Structure 1
């Protein structure tokens, strides 16, 4: 990517997330809610102060930036392994995903600032923004080799690499997607809790639509298959696309699969087959615990390892069946990267190598916080030895969470990911989907308005 384009992209992100921060109700520290944070809004006065642990003024301070507290578990494990880090690590929690890029971008050109990040945590939605820039060091410059990363899922290596294949960010989590089914409601309205039969039901969009109609009719509209068409967006966005958001000439384009999603959403809306909720809303959350009689409920949610462990409620404990979506997709994940002016590259290498390459250390991460780690040998050991993570959540019958996801991460395709994905996927495209699904716009107008919004946000992307 040319430097001109990188600079324009950074400016566009700064403007976008300044606006997001000015209108957000405040960031939620949970990873599960980071997607919602990027879309929420508040007054500028509500932008939270950074929460800082450690002494950034110390001569040997090593500063790590994040938007929530997920890193603290890793930090505890790192201090056990490297006791000298206890008084050196400075952890900056910016207070929410909405504010992260805006805050950190202001520091990246100011290495003299005591809060300049030596290491950054990066979400998949914007990891490419930084990977394609000069702000990060390569793993090889840190002494981390291809042999060290050989057991990582290949899609995560690609996500953390620039256009020349140079890896700069390294992930400790893998996040292959699935569909999570509530067993008691599936038995009542779909007539089975057999995983193989449910796999057939969710194997195509046509069969899912047929099941949605069946559930809606049988329950008198009290139970829906999915809570809203919004619940399907990551399956399409992170799995069904075959064309990127813009071509090699920076011309904005629309993937036929995205038009299919828009049409599918309209069908669900027109036939009243969902409750038309938006993910992370209170009405969306309430549907997880409905009984389908006195209160509304839905049978299925799109998911991934962290969602299954931490975002399903007690109603779903020992009552959840995992199946594949019509296409393999991914959802979320967090990478680690050392900045170009990192004060101590040896420490950066220790942290990244331990958290994202070391099988035994990554197994300890799983045991400490339940993360489905980005190391295939570690996952194999976890499955073979039936190791327990921090979460006590378990599935229906004899399904096992790490075992289910162990093979799904091998088929994830991230070749179309761009630096602009978070804003387009979380805000601009969903607005177009809703406009068309609800009848506010016809298809041509919705797509035209979408392309105009993308251009307005990223002026270097063109409309033709």
Structure 2
């Protein structure tokens, strides 16, 4: 027991130091010459995969195993609920006992594991980032502060602004995506358009449902991340976000709902909210599934348009990593390569699910063949493909989720007039100091 606790404490300490990230850099420049290795032969009989999503389990069972029916080893997929995932993953990685060979990581905490010693260098098992067609931002997310590639993903999750065409036509005089984009092409224009919609609708139509809808966009627009060279940083965009929040809330330009609540979802099928900031998966799993009004049976499907909005951003995503010390290197390499680089599989997956891929070669091959009825025939895939090339993920750190949770509390308090900005900022910085005492301030 004491040995296990010691290992866990060591693991936690390493993550707390390394996950806070470093200066913003071009990882392609940081890498330099990389020696591409060959995975060692398998020493076990079972490849163990951990995931927080059933999606990966389905990909493996319905595609990988069917395409590889004669594997000389078993593939065991363990699905752990996301709210329990890190708590269960951390101790087994620290101890090395009952640990997965391959494990999935989501955007909210991928850097925590990438910047730890428990994820393997994928170049050592044959991945050459200079000779694959994966989007640069997707590779950057899974590259550690030393320029070592530690993960790979099949998908890209650029974000967009989805708006109601009928409301745009009624209050802005146009529903055309290019013309609506011009009205929200930066944050100042976004606010002006919000005011216009509110005034012309007598306050009945809000620009967005929740203040939380904006945060991903502002975070992505920053020049610097929360932590640079172990120093805590508040980028000017954070102050701008606070002021935008105050203006939107004080002028009643949001529906004052919280994300993922019943009220927030209800406006997707109503007529009281102009638009939503959502990424690729938001189209299929949020908007489409909530478009029909439960009381009237009327659907807003076909009445939506999709544009970039004020700034490029991404939201979410799943990366696959191999555990350092795995005895199933060859099997792990084969699985990760198949799911994230195999063009035949990726094309099938995209056509089957509509998932936007990280592989630019396949995306360019298929992107012009999409027409989305939910968006009145708009080609969402081609639009997302263009948006993905503009995403910059170089400022991400392993501390982002925890710091942003602390910030959201103060953003809400200031936006609703419960605190003044200086007090809210002081409380925010104080809470970060308590949780991350090893940072410089």
**Short-chain TM bin:** 0.7 to 0.9
Partner of 1:307: 282
Partner of 2:422: 444
CA drift of 1:461 comes to 1.8
**2-structure distance, mates of 1:9, 1:231:** 33
Conserved in 2, the CA contact under 8 Å of 1:176 and 1:408? yes
Partner of 1:257: 237
Shift in CA distance, 6/60, structure 1 to aligned 2, threshold 3 Å: closer
Partner of 1:430: 408
What RMSD in Å do the two structures reach over aligned CA positions? 2.3
Partner of 2:29: none
**1-structure distance, mates of 2:340, 2:253:** 42
Shift in CA distance, 112/230, structure 1 to aligned 2, threshold 3 Å: closer
Shift in CA distance, 436/387, structure 1 to aligned 2, threshold 3 Å: closer
Q: TM-score, normalised by structure 2?
A: 0.85
CA drift of 1:187 comes to 1.7
CA drift of 1:222 comes to 2.3
Partner of 2:248: 268
Gaps of 5+ in 1: 15-58
**1-structure distance, mates of 2:227, 2:149:** 23
Question: Does residue 80 of the first structure (1) align with residue 66 of the second (2)?
Answer: yes
Partner of 1:345: 329
**1-structure distance, mates of 2:370, 2:163:** 24
Question: Does residue 409 of the first structure (1) align with residue 388 of the second (2)?
Answer: yes
Question: Does residue 133 of the first structure (1) align with residue 116 of the second (2)?
Answer: yes
**2-structure distance, mates of 1:225, 1:232:** 11
Q: Deviations over 1:366-399 (max 9, x none)?
A: 1232211110111111124x269xxxx5343442
Conserved in 1, the CA contact under 8 Å of 2:52 and 2:85? yes
**1-structure distance, mates of 2:11, 2:239:** 29
Conserved in 2, the CA contact under 8 Å of 1:317 and 1:395? yes
Shift in CA distance, 86/330, structure 1 to aligned 2, threshold 3 Å: farther
**1-structure distance, mates of 2:244, 2:328:** 51
**Within 5 Å, which residues of 2 pair with 1:100-119?**
100-113=85-98, 116-119=99-102
Q: Which moved more, 1:4-13 or 1:168-177?
A: 4-13
Conserved in 2, the CA contact under 8 Å of 1:394 and 1:400? no
CA drift of 1:246 comes to 2.6
Q: Deviations over 1:310-333 (max 9, x none)?
A: 211333432221111211111111
Partner of 1:157: 139
CA drift of 1:228 comes to 1.9
Q: Deviations over 1:174-211 (max 9, x none)?
A: 01111011112222222211111101111122221122
Shift in CA distance, 406/185, structure 1 to aligned 2, threshold 3 Å: same
CA drift of 1:429 comes to 1.3
Partner of 2:23: none
**1-structure distance, mates of 2:332, 2:222:** 35
SS of the counterpart of 1:181? Answer: strand
Shift in CA distance, 414/218, structure 1 to aligned 2, threshold 3 Å: same
Higher relative contact order (CA 8 A, sep 6+): 2
Partner of 2:294: none
**Within 5 Å, which residues of 2 pair with 1:378-393?**
378-384=362-368, 386=369
**Within 5 Å, which residues of 2 pair with 1:328-367?**
328-367=312-351
Conserved in 2, the CA contact under 8 Å of 1:13 and 1:102? no
CA drift of 1:90 comes to 1.2
Gaps of 5+ in 2: 1-8, 20-43, 292-298
**1-structure distance, mates of 2:92, 2:17:** 16
Q: Deviations over 1:410-448 (max 9, x none)?
A: 1111121001112222x1111121121112221111111
Conserved in 2, the CA contact under 8 Å of 1:328 and 1:408? yes
Partner of 2:181: 199
Question: Does residue 91 of the first structure (1) align with residue 77 of the second (2)?
Answer: yes
Conserved in 2, the CA contact under 8 Å of 1:6 and 1:132? no
SS of the counterpart of 2:54? Answer: coil
SS of the counterpart of 2:389? Answer: helix
CA drift of 1:229 comes to 1.6
CA drift of 1:118 comes to 0.7
**Within 5 Å, which residues of 2 pair with 1:359-378?**
359-378=343-362
Q: Deviations over 1:269-288 (max 9, x none)?
A: 11111111221111111111
Conserved in 1, the CA contact under 8 Å of 2:51 and 2:57? no
Q: Deviations over 1:80-134 (max 9, x none)?
A: 2211359712111112x22111110011022232xx1111101112111111111
Partner of 1:245: 226
Shift in CA distance, 422/266, structure 1 to aligned 2, threshold 3 Å: same
**2-structure distance, mates of 1:84, 1:94:** 27
Question: Does residue 218 of the first structure (1) align with residue 223 of the second (2)?
Answer: no
**1-structure distance, mates of 2:172, 2:307:** 14
**2-structure distance, mates of 1:381, 1:65:** 32
Conserved in 2, the CA contact under 8 Å of 1:12 and 1:457? no
